[in-house]
A and B are shown apart, each in its own frame.
Chain A
Amino acid sequence: MATTIQSSSLDFASIKNNLKTYLQSKEEFKDYNFEASGLSNILDVLAYNTHLNGLTANFALNESFISTAQLRSSLVQLSEAIGYIPDSKTASSGIVKMAMNLSNVVDRENTISIATGYKFTAKVDTRNYTFQTQETLTATDDGAGYYQFKTLDGDEKIPVKEGQAKVRTFIAGDNEENALYIIPDKNMDINTAIVKVFENTSTTSFDTYTSIEKATTISEQSTLYILKEMPNGYYELSFGNGTTLGKTPPAGGKIVVEYLAVNGAAADNALVFEPTSTIKITENVNRTPVVTTYTKSVGGGEKESIESMRKNAPFQYATQNRMVTFADYESLILRNYSTLIKDISSWGGEDNLKPEFGVIFSSIVFENGISEARQAVTKTGIQDLAAQLGVATFDIKFTDPVKTFVETEIFFRFNPALTTLSVNTIQENVRNVVNRYFEDNTGKFNLAFRRSNLLTLVDDVSPAVLSSRAEVKMQQRFAPSLLVEQDHNFKFPVEIASPDDVNFRITSSTFTFKGQSCQVRNQLKSNKLQVVNLSTNKPIVDNVGSYNAAAGEVNIVGLQVDAIVGGGNSIKLSVVPANQSVIRPQREYILEHDQARSTARAVDTDADY
């Protein structure tokens, strides 16, 4: 969140009073009566002027820094100053396969092509969106008249992007300094832009320019363009000046910009893509290709928010477009795949649980709906990116995020005399506060749980809540194959409490084994795990593994589960952390709240302290 630069005093009455005090301190005016109506009116006018000046100065000062600016236009400019181009809207993208059976068509060509921009409609909720291909597709007769369309790379998986294709044409002026070409479209996806430069308006040959962000080398002959958001939300196109950033379009030349104006995330989750036109096969035969969806549409995004710019621009500046520190990896991966990635954590192999040198680990939480295939393609792209931008030949490896749930058992002293609300209402309010705390403070990498912060919120629920305390557990889950013995290993983000003679440190949710309701728990005063019959409270399997408190590890060995009580396909394994005050996840760990296993209970009291 933005901070703001506070002005010393922007209160009108204070300003007037300060002005009066100042004037009274001057020999010339010390005997004047500033309360008299005439002079007081003049002071009002002057104080108002001061107030207006102060306010304007304060606004201007705040808008001068990334961390304090309130206006998007200011953040866009300030980010630009440190080399950061905010994300534009991004097209939602799906993958389809297209084929045609032309076995009954005589005189069919051996190869059929579909030009770029072939359109489909797809419905999301109640609204139709237009998707289109981004390259020329070709299909070859397999001998039996079956045509499978492929991309230029020979891939059957064809990406389609949502958006309306638009073209803007400019005539290049004299090679004046700082020539800008304005594209008045706030819905532009700058990643879809294709910039063509023609030597003059009559020629059909052109050079396709490349975005400077994708340039690997720059010389005075480079054909590069810069496309970025302007303060008013439109986009500006510019080129090199013929020396530093490459060629500039010749005076009188034609500049054509083709791009997609997109609807962003609204077009995500489209499942069925219907072609809007037929393809001409022969002079008299037109056919519609059969389209099957490979992945639904995902990755649509809105313009980068000002809070995102505020956070990302300094880190982006710090990378200098090179991957060296762990933060560089996080920043540049996010920069290139922001619409697909919800959160990322990267760390050097030296900090891995099992150190691995010359390696960087990344754990990624993908946006909802990103298919496994799309995730795999993205990871390959990230590895390619690291190969380009890494300064050393370090490998990048991916680790799946590990969710660790937090269970909270809240007890609060409640004096009903201090509120008109019922105990049930207060308990419900406390539960809501707890849930909100976890929504706001966990669910992403590196976000820690702090018990004291939570209890402060609980105490603030009502004056009738006199004090509170919380028991905290961590929990991970496993999905056993039923009726077979299996091993299950867990690594918790922090140390587990040492064995105790009263309290169990490890407990699982209930399952059945040989017809008995059981749970896995540690033997008191021991780190040995047992399967215990919950009816008799006696172990029926004496040793199913152990836990290592200091390492935060639980290893279940040879556990057989016949059925899971309460349905579902997973068993919850809860452990008591050694320090319940704080659980700080590192690396690939993410904390989430298990509301189902969390409680909030009032303890009635008539005390008022």
Chain B
Amino acid sequence: MSHLVDRTLIDIGRREPNVREYVVEDALSQHIVESYPKFVSFLKQYFQFEETDSSPSHLIQELFYTRDISQMDLDLLAYVEDELLLGESYFEGFTDKRAAAKYSNTLYRSKGTKYSIQQFFRTFFNIDPDIVYTKRQIFNVGESKIGAESQRYITDDKLYQQYALLVKSELSVSKWRKPYKLFVHPAGMYLGAEVQLVGLVDLDIQNQPNPGVKDIPEFEIESFATMAPRGITSATALFDFNAPDGTGQLFRANLGSESTYPNPGGNDLIDVQDRPISELHGLYSTIGEYLEVDAPTFDEDTDDSGSAMGLSSLETIDQDKFDWVDSDNIANLDELFDSDYNKNL
């Protein structure tokens, strides 16, 4: 590196600025200075030479930065890596060599934790893998639910056992296995690896094509109905769309309850919040089921004649638990909610 450039240009403000001067005149006798100005100039040029790369003395400048990870020469940093990061061939692999050295202690002190593994991948490969302790996904008899939804696996001698972890990253395991095992892997644990293919989608929401306006087909309300599960009343309407091609479509929409009407759109917690839990338990296994009219409730939609409403098979309300009230004769929703029948439920 050349030190003959203006030092303020290479100073990054971390150290006291180098304002060293060549005090040749002070070192020489006065009469020499006065009699031989060329000699003084000659010596000053010599000291400038001392700071150039051509002079081996310029290494003296490096001594100030010898252990300063932030500012030391990258060639010298490799020797620090030898000490702090087991050196050898790993140095070139670090994406941020200075950070790797600075935080090596943090890496080692947290060794054995998920954090250390994450830091390892950040430091070495600049990626953020998912670290999964798969013992939490083992199927435990008496605790875990059966079925794909539970995401539980039978114990095996690889990933699904007490001593295993899974690294999901975008890099092949062959690229990181060796340094990973040397630096952070808890010896004795099975190492599973999955390659994640991650793509970025540019939604460009502001420049989406205009979808246009679709004509809403003509429809009529076939019927209104109330579902009356043990006192909870929810209004529905059966819509009959008359498609232009002659194929009609029926679907039922939830109109909300008496308490939420005229702001229909779904059942509300307000309808059930004061109900005893024992009552709700018989109806819904989750609040989600309550909130969705067509929630999966093991529908027994085998006999729609009981409703006398022409229910489509899309309707999945458990008919054992709901009483359907034919409200064909009711002209509008206000009347529906005001009906004596409804109030007597």
Which residue in chain A gives the minimum CB-CB distance to B48? A22
Give the distance to chain A from B213, nearest Cβ to Cβ, in Å: 61
Chain B residues within an 8 Å CB radius of A313: 83
Rounded to whole angstroms, the CA-CA distance of A51 and B57 in the bound complex is: 7
Given A324-B111, A392-B112, also A348-B56 (CB < 8 A): no
- Chain A 296-333, CB-CB to B under 8 Å as 1, else 0, gives 00000000000000000111011110101111110000
- Chain A 342-374, CB-CB to B under 8 Å as 1, else 0, gives 000011111000010111100000000000000
Are A68 and B79 closer than 8 Å at their CB atoms? Answer: yes
Return the contact of A325 from the options B38, B83, B105, B186 (Cβ within 8 A). B186
Are B54 and A347 closer than 8 Å at their CB atoms? Answer: no
Chain B residues within an 8 Å CB radius of A61: 59, 62-63, 66, 76
Are A317 and B55 closer than 8 Å at their CB atoms? Answer: no
Rounded to whole angstroms, the CA-CA distance of A318 and B50 in the bound complex is: 40
- Chain B 164-200, CB-CB to A under 8 Å as 1, else 0, gives 1000000000000000011111111111000000000
Are A53 and B60 closer than 8 Å at their CB atoms? Answer: yes
Give the distance to chain B from A595, nearest Cβ to Cβ, in Å: 32
Chain A residues within an 8 Å CB radius of B56: 7-10, 15, 50-51, 53-55, 57-58
Rounded to whole angstroms, the CA-CA distance of A36 and B325 in the bound complex is: 121
Given A57-B60, A322-B112, also A50-B184 (CB < 8 A): no
Which among B67, B80, B108 has the highest number of chain A CB atoms within 10 Å? B108
Rounded to whole angstroms, the CA-CA distance of A350 and B181 in the bound complex is: 11
Give chain A interface residues in 30-80, CB to chain B under 8 Å. 42, 46, 50-51, 53-55, 57-58, 60-61, 64-68, 78
Rounded to whole angstroms, the CA-CA distance of A415 and B109 in the bound complex is: 62
Are B187 and A347 closer than 8 Å at their CB atoms? Answer: yes
The yes or no answer to B140 lying at the interface (CB within 8 A) is no
Chain A residues within an 8 Å CB radius of B53: 8
Are A5 and B76 closer than 8 Å at their CB atoms? Answer: yes
Which among A28, A315, A324 has the highest number of chain B CB atoms within 10 Å? A324
Are A348 and B82 closer than 8 Å at their CB atoms? Answer: no
Rounded to whole angstroms, the CA-CA distance of A360 and B181 in the bound complex is: 13
Chain A residues within an 8 Å CB radius of B157: 355, 357
Given A19-B49, A82-B83, A82-B84, also A325-B188 (CB < 8 A): no
The yes or no answer to B312 lying at the interface (CB within 8 A) is no
The yes or no answer to A23 lying at the interface (CB within 8 A) is yes
Are B83 and A65 closer than 8 Å at their CB atoms? Answer: yes
Are A324 and B60 closer than 8 Å at their CB atoms? Answer: no
The yes or no answer to A394 lying at the interface (CB within 8 A) is yes
The yes or no answer to A26 lying at the interface (CB within 8 A) is yes
The yes or no answer to B86 lying at the interface (CB within 8 A) is yes
Which residue in chain B gives the minimum CB-CB distance to A65? B79
Are B188 and A349 closer than 8 Å at their CB atoms? Answer: yes
Give the distance to chain B from A248, nearest Cβ to Cβ, in Å: 27
Rounded to whole angstroms, the CA-CA distance of A371 and B62 in the bound complex is: 53
The yes or no answer to A526 lying at the interface (CB within 8 A) is no
The yes or no answer to A29 lying at the interface (CB within 8 A) is yes
Are A320 and B111 closer than 8 Å at their CB atoms? Answer: yes
Which residue in chain B gives the minimum CB-CB distance to A358? B163
The yes or no answer to A106 lying at the interface (CB within 8 A) is no
Are A350 and B83 closer than 8 Å at their CB atoms? Answer: no
The yes or no answer to B137 lying at the interface (CB within 8 A) is no
Chain A residues within an 8 Å CB radius of B189: 348, 350, 357-358
The yes or no answer to A391 lying at the interface (CB within 8 A) is yes
Rounded to whole angstroms, the CA-CA distance of A54 and B296 in the bound complex is: 82
Chain B residues within an 8 Å CB radius of A113: none
Chain A residues within an 8 Å CB radius of B76: 5, 61, 65
The yes or no answer to B52 lying at the interface (CB within 8 A) is yes
Which residue in chain A gives the minimum CB-CB distance to B56? A54
Give the distance to chain A from B25, nearest Cβ to Cβ, in Å: 17
Give the distance to chain B from A93, nearest Cβ to Cβ, in Å: 30
Rounded to whole angstroms, the CA-CA distance of A392 and B185 in the bound complex is: 12
Chain A residues within an 8 Å CB radius of B86: 314-315, 318, 327
Are B108 and A317 closer than 8 Å at their CB atoms? Answer: yes
Which residue in chain B gives the minimum CB-CB distance to A46? B46
Are A64 and B67 closer than 8 Å at their CB atoms? Answer: yes
The yes or no answer to B41 lying at the interface (CB within 8 A) is yes
Chain A residues within an 8 Å CB radius of B182: 325-327
The yes or no answer to A201 lying at the interface (CB within 8 A) is no
Give chain B interface residues in 55-73, CB to chain A under 8 Å. 55-57, 59-60, 62-63, 66-67
Chain A residues within an 8 Å CB radius of B111: 320, 322, 324-325, 328, 391
Rounded to whole angstroms, the CA-CA distance of A65 and B56 in the bound complex is: 19
Are A329 and B187 closer than 8 Å at their CB atoms? Answer: yes
Are A392 and B42 closer than 8 Å at their CB atoms? Answer: no
Return the contact of B108 from the options A9, A28, A320, A392 (Cβ within 8 A). A320
The yes or no answer to B233 lying at the interface (CB within 8 A) is no
Chain A residues within an 8 Å CB radius of B67: 64
Are A67 and B82 closer than 8 Å at their CB atoms? Answer: yes
Rounded to whole angstroms, the CA-CA distance of A359 and B186 in the bound complex is: 10
Rounded to whole angstroms, the CA-CA distance of A539 and B211 in the bound complex is: 85
The yes or no answer to B248 lying at the interface (CB within 8 A) is no
Rounded to whole angstroms, the CA-CA distance of A329 and B111 in the bound complex is: 13
Chain B residues within an 8 Å CB radius of A9: 54, 56
- Chain A 153-196, CB-CB to B under 8 Å as 1, else 0, gives 00000000000000000000000000000000000000000000
Which residue in chain B gives the minimum CB-CB distance to A394? B188
Chain B residues within an 8 Å CB radius of A394: 186-188
Give the distance to chain A from B139, nearest Cβ to Cβ, in Å: 18
The yes or no answer to A128 lying at the interface (CB within 8 A) is no
The yes or no answer to B297 lying at the interface (CB within 8 A) is no
Given A320-B108, A325-B183, A350-B191, also A314-B84 (CB < 8 A): yes
Chain B residues within an 8 Å CB radius of A358: 162-163, 188-189
Rounded to whole angstroms, the CA-CA distance of A67 and B189 in the bound complex is: 32
Give the distance to chain B from A323, nearest Cβ to Cβ, in Å: 8
Rounded to whole angstroms, the CA-CA distance of A477 and B82 in the bound complex is: 40
Chain B residues within an 8 Å CB radius of A10: 56
The yes or no answer to A18 lying at the interface (CB within 8 A) is yes
Rounded to whole angstroms, the CA-CA distance of A347 and B79 in the bound complex is: 28
The yes or no answer to B262 lying at the interface (CB within 8 A) is no
Which among A8, A23, A327, A350 has the highest number of chain B CB atoms within 10 Å? A350
| Sample of 15 further A-B pairs with CB below 8 A, known A315-B86, A325-B182, A391-B186 | A22-B52, A23-B49, A53-B56, A54-B57, A64-B63, A78-B83, A82-B83, A318-B183, A319-B108, A320-B105, A349-B187, A349-B188, A355-B190, A357-B157, A357-B161
A residues adjacent to B (C-beta < 8 A) = 5, 7-10, 15, 18-19, 21-23, 26, 28-29, 42, 46, 50-51, 53-55, 57-58, 60-61, 64-68, 78, 82, 313-315, 317-320, 322, 324-329, 346-350, 355, 357-360, 391-392, 394
- A-B contact list, 22 entries, CB within 8 Å: A5-B79, A10-B56, A15-B55, A22-B49, A46-B46, A50-B57, A53-B56, A58-B56, A60-B63, A65-B80, A66-B79, A67-B82, A68-B79, A324-B111, A325-B184, A326-B181, A327-B182, A348-B188, A357-B163, A357-B189, A358-B163, A360-B188
Q: Which 9 A-B pairs have the closest CB atoms?
A: A54-B56, A348-B187, A57-B59, A65-B79, A357-B163, A53-B57, A67-B82, A18-B54, A326-B187
